[in-house]
Amino acid sequence: MQEKKYFTRMGDGSIVHMTEAEIREDMKAGMEDAVSRGKISPLTDEEFEHLYEIITMPGVIVGVEPGKQVVTTSDSGSDKINTKCGIPTDRAINAMLHERILGCDSVDIGYSDYNFKTVKGVAKREASVLKHALNRTTMPLFYGAMPNLGFYTKPDGPVDNWAVLLPEGKIKEAMAAQEEAVELAVKDILYVAEQMHDVGADGINLDTSGAAGDADFLVSLKATEQIKERFPDLHVEIGMAGEFVLGMHGKLKYDDVRLAGLYPHKQVKLAEKAGASIFGPVVNTNCNKSFPWNLARVCTFIKACTEVTEIPIHANAGMGVCGVPMCENLPTDAVSRVAKALIEICKIDGL
Amino acid sequence: MRMQLAHKMKIDEAKKYVAEKLNVTIEELCDVVTMTDVREELGIGLGHVEPCAEANIGMESKFRIAELLGIEINSVERFKERAGIK
């Protein structure tokens, strides 16, 4: 008799059928990869078995027990109805759609060019959209954008491009350019935060932090610190770009900790120190590996993060992160298994 | 969500806090049927809205949520300042 095979997926979303032994082997390899890279503890035998059950349980959509539900935040949430679905609605209306139709617990108003440098020029107008939304919705609303440090480089921005300088061997110049860009970006974020605070925003979402490397992550930490100093009632969520802070600069520190090379369980301690209310860790999905490999790796990293944090953790579980496959139309079998595993094994506070 | 933002509460602590304030169990707090009744009774916002006295949503709900949970909501505070009621 042929051995039973389970329906699952690859990291790119394509369907694959695997035996119990194959699934367990991939889970073990994924977990060991996280342990080795993050220098963190593996899942316990009980957690490993529970994860195997989640991956192989029957049904397309799986869920948590009643009472175990968590809350949600988003990135560029209010604009996705327009940019991703092509539906021409106002973003204040989109916030209401998220609240009353999609059942979200919060959403962020964000510009279609989702970065603070671009928003700076239209911040007052963006604040008007947020104000309309705040008047009509009950749930908390953020203003969200990316620090996106790459936008500060020539020819579009004011500082020299470190991606050009580095291959030329101009290391000191590349480091100086990044340090200059950090100060400019923090200033822009503070300006935007001030406009949003003025209309009563519940929070600022610093999304995709660290996308341009350690200097980019430093921007989020410094901006959070300064937002909390100037506007103590304006709360900050820091969401990461990737699982690992790239050392594009290499020597930048925050609170005497070198940023390059930090994994989520170390990143969160700095977010906490800076004053963030919520931290959104990322674990990258590997398209060439199976869903069981990816999810076991994700659970190992995120559990290490929730074990050390004192602030709520909202794991990033969208396309291509935290085990969710890298594809535009997300399969609910994978997404619901990711959510269940993150809640039940990793004890996250939100998604 | 508001307790996570305002007081950095983890999910279990936040649910316990809100459940106690609303006089429901945690299971009920996560239940759409129970919470529809509770929300309507307390005027703290519903997903479906028809224009009747009990169906608060938006700013008027946030006034009540701030009072019930004992927190300040920024948009409510701005509204009060600008309406001259603070």
Backbone angles phi, psi at A109, to 5 degrees: -85, 130
Q: Do B8 and A67 touch (CB under 8 A)?
A: no
pLDDT digit string, tens, across residues A146-173: 999 999 999 989 999 999 999 999 999 9
A290 touches chain B (CB under 8 A): no
Give strand pairing partners of A108. A142
Residues of chain A with pLDDT > 90, as a percent, come to 96
Residue with tokens 């930490």: A221
Q: Do B2 and A202 touch (CB under 8 A)?
A: yes
As a whole number of angstroms, the distance between CA A289 and CA A305 comes to 23
Give strand pairing partners of A138. none
As a whole number of angstroms, the distance between CA B71 and CA A63 comes to 31
- The mean of the pLDDT values for chain B is 93
> DSSP per residue over A236-278, as a string?
EEEEESSSS---SSS--EETTEE-TT--HHHHHHHHHHHT-SE
Q: Do A199 and B8 touch (CB under 8 A)?
A: no
Q: Which domains are assigned to chain A?
A: 5-344 (3.20.20)
pLDDT digit string, tens, across residues A47-70: 999 999 999 999 999 999 999 999
Residues of B in contact with A234 (CB under 8 A): 74
pLDDT of A2 higher than 90: no
Domain residue spans of chain B: 2-83
Q: What is the mean pLDDT of residues B41-51?
A: 84
Q: What pLDDT, on the 0 to 100 scale, is given for residue A42?
A: 98
Residues of B in contact with A68 (CB under 8 A): 30
Q: What pLDDT, on the 0 to 100 scale, is given for residue A64?
A: 97
Residue in A276, A278, A275, A297 with CA at minimum distance from that of residue A286: A297
Nearest by CB to A105, which of B1, B48, B76?
B1
Give strand pairing partners of A8. A16
Strands A203-209 and A141-145: parallel
Q: Do A139 and B1 touch (CB under 8 A)?
A: yes
Nearest by CB to A138, which of B9, B48, B61?
B61
Residues of B in contact with A71 (CB under 8 A): 1, 4, 11
Give me the helix-helix angle, A123-136 and B59-69, nearest 10°.
Answer: 80
Q: What pLDDT, on the 0 to 100 scale, is given for residue A77?
A: 77
Q: Do A312 and B9 touch (CB under 8 A)?
A: yes
Residues of chain B with pLDDT > 90, as a percent, come to 83
Q: Do A200 and B58 touch (CB under 8 A)?
A: no
pLDDT confidence bin for B54, thresholds 50/70/90: low
pLDDT of A187 higher than 90: yes
pLDDT digit string, tens, across residues A226-279: 999 999 999 999 999 999 999 999 999 999 999 999 999 999 999 999 999 999
To the nearest 10°, the Cα dihedral for A123, A191, A150, A210?
-110
Nearest by CB to A201, which of B47, B48, B74?
B74
